[in-house]
Structure 1
């Protein structure tokens, strides 16, 4: 696809990443979420084909950081039982209200090891009306891509890879470890550290004392 507009949804960071509670305090988890979001946005913004980013969030810290990074911010709409997909659908509608029919990318906001080259390659190989990047667990969704003629129709949540495939999304094959690795558990955190995370997540984890004997690789955006 030649040009794509991205959408991310980020909830209140004070309530995020509860599965990391065994290794991080609530305050640390909130700081990590903001750092991972920042590194994800920085990597995505380095991809020329991605011409805009809309962030849907109720969190003022996330909103302020998104604006600093050049993103358009939309307040989270009333969501009921499905806040993530409601937020992504609202972001998609807002993008098309402002830009007209356009390809859309729903991207997870916690991809601290994402390389711009991975995202650019994924956009280059995507074909058809709807594509999905399945995450490293094999059950979740790292990214959902639709062309200008298709609704976003996000199905993020438990077993979302199956749900997106059932809705017609074609799984994309590619060696994109940073794109496929979102962070929900301590094991995920170990995995992205081994891949090399962006500078904001690196700084935050070092502040928390997450170091290894050989040093963690740092992902650079170039």
Structure 2
């Protein structure tokens, strides 16, 4: 199994997760975004087949945390109305500038219930040129894997991204990966990941907010 280089993109944490505004303040949402990013990165970098992680962000707190976790960090490029995909594409280009032709993984940064075993399973099963892991809603994308060392990442994250990635030739991967499939955008999503068991940084943050998270198979944390 060939190794993979991962790319994640995180925008300014003070502007993130507006759909959680009914349950969390702006400051709490910023804390939660940083915590979820941390747990996602910790789980991802625990996968032996993942050779490196590149984080694209304009946020200094995210950049500092990513460096603590051993990731390579680049600034978010100037973009028009599609900053997420522009950031992921820039990250992928940076990976290949530094490492040469290689396989790529684009991963959501808000997967606090992600288990390393889930991602390891995905990378084992993703043998085609382009594969996609559809999120728990059935319309979004949790991860995009490109196993063609010459093909561009061509990310199509955003509204109805599952269909967009399929239209771009990505084959949906089938597997029971609840932590990988559940990114957090709404209070309902937050309830789902609490039930699955979140990473230690997210768990600590939620306890601070007065939530009662559930946790199993803990992994290391830098919180």
Shorter-chain TM band: over 0.9
Counterparts of 2:151 and 2:124, CA distance in 1: 18
Question: What is the deviation of 1:149?
Answer: 2.7
| Runs of 4+ more than 4 Å apart | none
Counterparts of 1:114 and 1:103, CA distance in 2: 21
Q: How many residues are matched?
A: 219
Superposition pairs for residues 1-222 of structure 1, below 5 Å? 1-147=1-147, 148-211=149-212, 216-221=214-219
Question: What is the deviation of 1:128?
Answer: 1.1
Normalised by the size of structure 1, how large is the TM-score?
Answer: 0.97
What is the CA deviation profile of residues 97-150 of structure 1, one whole-angstrom value per residue up to 9, with x for unaligned ones?
A: 000000000000000000000000010011211000000000000000002132
Counterparts of 2:204 and 2:219, CA distance in 1: 15
Flag structure 1 segments of 5+ consecutive residues without an equivalent.
Answer: none
Flag structure 2 segments of 5+ consecutive residues without an equivalent.
Answer: none
Question: What is the deviation of 1:219?
Answer: 4.4
RMSD: 1.0
Counterparts of 2:155 and 2:32, CA distance in 1: 25
SS at match of 2:98: helix
Q: Contact 2:39 / 2:201 at 8 angstroms: preserved in 1?
A: yes
Counterparts of 2:214 and 2:139, CA distance in 1: 27
Q: Contact 2:5 / 2:52 at 8 angstroms: preserved in 1?
A: yes
SS at match of 2:47: coil
Counterparts of 2:32 and 2:157, CA distance in 1: 22
Counterparts of 2:217 and 2:95, CA distance in 1: 30
Normalised by the size of structure 2, how large is the TM-score?
Answer: 0.96
Question: What is the deviation of 1:220?
Answer: 1.5
